[in-house]
Structure 1
Amino acid sequence: MSVVTRFAPSPTGYLHVGGARTALYSWLYAKSQGGEFVLRIEDTDIERSTEQAKQAILDGMQWLGLSWDKGPYLQTERFDRYKELVQKLLNEGKAYKCFMSAEELDKIREEQKARGEKPRYPGTWRERTDHPEGESFVVRFKNPQEGKVVINDHIRGKIEISNTELDDLIIQRSDGTPTYNFCVVVDDWDMGITHVVRGEDHINNTPRQINILEALGAPVPEYAHVSMILGDDGKKLSKRHGAVSVMQYRDDGFLPQAVINYLVRLGWAHGDQEIFTLDEMIEHFSLDAIGQSASAFNTEKLIWLNQHYMKSLPASEVASHAKWHFNEQGIALAKGPALEAVIAIQADRVKTLKEMAQISRYFYEDFSEFDEKAAKKHLRPVAKEPLETVKDKLMAVEDWNPETIQQAINDTAEMLEIGMGKVGMPLRVATTGSGNSPSLDVTLNLISKEKVGQRIDKALTFIANRENS
């Protein structure tokens, strides 16, 4: 049997972390079994579904690299199919029209609560045929009243639910639109879904859906219900914990490789291994290896992974993601060195791509002011001679490269008989605007000889003005 999995989000908001992990597990299982991964947009909640949210889900999936083999299917485009099958169940006596008003049902439920009973529909219209003319009705599924539903869950093991615990579910509303639980069943059947990976909040839906599948004569897929993700404080992950939207992690400067690697380990393990390539995840992934307990989100761990990938991935791959942040911060990349070259010397100095763009601006544009603290310490009158001397030596360099640049700095310190710091620090502040940068040989090499000269002149002017003030 060929494996077919699916990810079926509702387009009522962004793609959140929990949804992304579910999508990842579903995607990995399909890939590990040589199967197919289906993307389905469950947009039957027409009032809350938006085109913007749908696009946010697609953007999040694409950014993570979770490509789908089929879809994205929209439930709103399949209403005729749902109605056809509702009618089939009505014709076969496996569903019925219920004319009970919402007010009447609410009253019954309040009475049940008062008696300490579980509130539920009492089956009033289950066998009735005295249907009133012209009255609105819902269609309810005739749930079996005997026996039990057994789910052999890949994560939770054997789950048994007595059919007496389940009431007759509404499968079509009074306005003729199908309900979520019915649409899911029909879609999973029509799309040949063999394995359903979803959150534990759907466990209560599963026995109902299995009963409808069996009533339709459809095969029942295998299930894996994933535990929730908790915040650092042990409470359910929410906006108060920071970013919970996948695209917010992109905006905050995380690489998709780091997010994917982090998410896969939020509940799944392969020995003690922490870092996985995508191929390794596919090779080792198993639904049965997903843990039952909830996973706590650890932002520091994600940052550690992000730093690892910034340093270890090819600079060109990091650059393809970093480019967005430079553009977002208005840094014109055409006016400076190749972004790959900057990444190669900055990757181990930052936690995120956003920070990388922030500290790399001086490679692409001139700064209007020197960092106040650094200038106060290093652009003093005593730095005038070292800056003038090193400028002369640098401008005399014909083959501009890290080796010749370093030699010019060494020669200046030797000629003036001063420590390297008394040349290097004023030069660093003069050329980068601050007291922090990678080693000067590689930094100046990327800034260019002409700009280095201009910036040293600017620093000398700053020192002169300081002397005269």
Structure 2
Amino acid sequence: MKKVRVRYAPSPTGLLHIGNARSALFNYLYARHFNGEFIVRIEDTDVLRNVEGGEASQLNYLSWLGLSWDESPDKGGPVGPYRQLERLDLYTKYANALLEQGLAYKDYREGSENYAIRFKVPENKTYAFNDLVRGKLSFESKDVEDWIIVKDNGIPTYNFAVVIDDHFMEISHVLRGEEHITNTPKQLMIYQAFGWEAPLFGHMTIIVNEQKKKLSKRDKDVVQFISEYEQMGYLPEAMFNFISLLGWSPQGNKEILSQDKIIAQFDPKRLSKAPAMFDKNKLAYINSRYIKKLSIDDLAVKIKPFLDKANIEIVDEAWLKLLASVFQDRLSYIGQIVELYHEFFHDDFKLTDDAYQFLVENNSLALIEAFRKMLENQAFEVEILDQAIQDVSQQLDVKGKPLYMGIRIAATGDMHGPSLANCMALLEKDRVLNRLQKVADKLRGDL
């Protein structure tokens, strides 16, 4: 097997979106699995659609996802330049070579001296290749019209430039979306015209939404751009993991995999032939698993910018870490901390019907009143609050769910959650005492 060299070749026309991120990721995985090389090339010939900062944005978010590359515009390399607009002389040279061989011809615009160059499609020829994902595919030349390889402004078309670039950059394998299948016969024509060996092609299936419609930038139900996930507080490791599963399946049922394990297992033979569904719930689950792996110190650092942006006062570093520990298991993405904070500290403290019914059925009034009285002269520290729970348990001979859930409902409004003492310490003394009093008053009034 010859050395693996693959590429990701975006146009700098916008932000990195899910589809392009998957293309980049699968090529990266293929290169790293086979100890090959991953090249980033910028296809910037569509000048009118290029946006300022588009190239830098692409590279920035590839890096954020955890991808590294061996050659690119920013790193350089032996087969550069890596921007198409810097390679125009090369395209012109080989377009002229086709003209000289009679394999292409000039197509003049009516009433103008400007001309495009069209490739002369051979007659009665079959173009076949073994797709790494789909097996053998073939096309007949009779179904392809003579096509433009250089526009009348001197800019090469995609299907011509990509062949020149892939050949001289020694690209061995091309993994790309299935929308490129119909481009392949045109590209094979150019390879054969020059007598060059074509790379091996593999065409990934489309990504669909939960309604099984092709994911598009206009699909408002799915966040499209990697930058948006960063801004919401999704972790890059989780995004890498999730995107790797969009059309590829690892061995076994395990879905939470480190980058190293994904690289070790990656094989195009395990790429799906069926559309890959973008499951928002699955992404949230995977991200939550990665959040749970964070140390409290690391999570505290990550939630702080979101609290600052929401103008939420951070009492001190200990309070921030306590907040992180209380909500770590409930976060699907880091930015959710703001929503959870407001729900937790909401002044309009109300109980659900189920929660209130639990207190009634377990005669929790005495427990709540005794616990509140016990807390009046206590410092609100986690260890002291834990001891207070044990003390009221012994005093009233209440244990288990009636004890812990009774206090939790009255203090936090929730029937389940993280450490009860941590929650109360975070809520602070006045708020907890007020809530306990409010619930006790309601229970007493309903007797």
- Do the two structures share a fold, i.e. TM-score over 0.5? yes
CA distance in 1, matches of 2:346, 2:43: 52
**CA distance in 2 between partners of 1:81 and 1:340 (Å):** 58
Where does structure 2 lack aligned partners over 5 or more consecutive residues? 74-81, 360-364, 443-447
Match of 1:260 in 2: 240
1:274 is aligned to: 254
- Superposed, 1:19-418 pairs within 5 Å as 19-72=20-73, 73-101=82-110, 135-238=113-216, 239-275=219-255, 276-315=257-296, 322-323=303-304, 325-331=306-312, 335-337=316-318, 342-360=323-341, 369-373=347-351, 386-394=371-379, 400-402=381-383, 404-412=384-392, 414=394
CA positional deviation for 1:225: 0.5
Distance between the aligned counterparts of 1:227 and 1:443, measured in 2? 47
TM-score by length of 2: 0.79
Residues 436 and 54 of structure 1: CA distance in aligned 2, closer, same or farther (over 3 Å): farther
Q: Which residue of 2 aligns with 1:123?
A: none
Instruction: Give 1:316 shift.
Output: 5.5
1:394 aligned counterpart, secondary structure: coil
Amino acid at match of 1:354: G
After superposition, the Cα gap between the structure-2 partners of 1:77 and 1:157, relative to the gap in structure 1 and judged at 3 Å, is: same
Is contact 2:5-2:37 (8 Å) kept? yes
Structure 2: distance between partners of 1:255 and 1:234:
26
Task: State the 1:42 CA deviation.
Answer: 1.9
Aligned-residue offset at 1:459 = 6.2
User: Which amino acid in the other structure matches residue 254 of structure 2?
Assistant: E
Q: Deviations over 1:187-229 (max 9, x none)?
A: 2123221111100110111121122233345432111111101
Name the counterpart of 1:452. Answer: 428
Q: CA deviation at 1:410?
A: 2.8
Partner of 1:104: none
8 Å CA contact retained: 1:15, 1:57: yes
1:122 corresponds to: none
Q: Do 2:150 and 2:157's aligned partners in 1 also have CA atoms closer than 8 Å?
A: yes
Between the aligned partners of 1:100 and 1:331, the Cα distance in structure 2 is 64
User: Deviation of residue 39 (structure 1)?
Assistant: 1.7
8 Å CA contact 2:291, 2:331 repeated in 1? no
Partners of 1:371 and 1:434 within 8 A in 2:
no
Whole-Å Cα distance in 1 between the matches of residues 302 and 379 of structure 2? 34
Provide the aligned C-alpha RMSD in A. Answer: 3.8
Shift of 1:26: 0.7
| Residue 14, structure 1, aligned to residue 23, structure 2 | no
Shift, 1:415, TM fit: 5.0
- In the alignment, which residue of structure 1 is the partner of 2:362? none
Gap change, CA 1:288 and 1:392, over 3 Å in 2: same
- What whole-Å deviation, never above 9, does each CA across 1:145-196 have from its counterpart, x for those lacking one? 3532221110111112223332222121112222222221222123221111
* Cα distance in 2 between the residues matched to 1:220 and 1:334: 63
Q: 1:136, 1:68 → 2: CA distance?
A: 40
| TM-aligned CA deviation for residue 308 of structure 1 | 2.5
Q: 1:368 to 1:339 in 2, by over 3 A?
A: closer
When residues 293 and 456 of structure 1 are mapped into structure 2, their CA distance, relative to the original with a 3 A threshold, is: closer
Tell me the distance in 2 between the aligned counterparts of 1:278 and 1:50. Answer: 31
Report the residue type matching 1:359 in the other structure. L
Deviation at 1:429, TM superposition (A): 8.4
The answer to whether the Cα contact below 8 Å between 1:393 and 1:412 also exists between their aligned partners in 2 is: no
How many Å separate the matches in 1 of 2:325 and 2:283? Answer: 21
User: Residue by residue, what CA displacement relative to the aligned partner does 1:240-261 show, whole Å, maximum 9, x if unpaired?
Assistant: 4322323333444433333332
Q: Deviations over 1:332-380 (max 9, x none)?
A: 55734376654444232243323234324699xxx68353558x979xx
Residue number in structure 2 paired with 1:3:
4
Counterpart contact for 1:36–1:69, Cα < 8 Å: yes
User: 1:266 is aligned with what amino acid?
Assistant: L
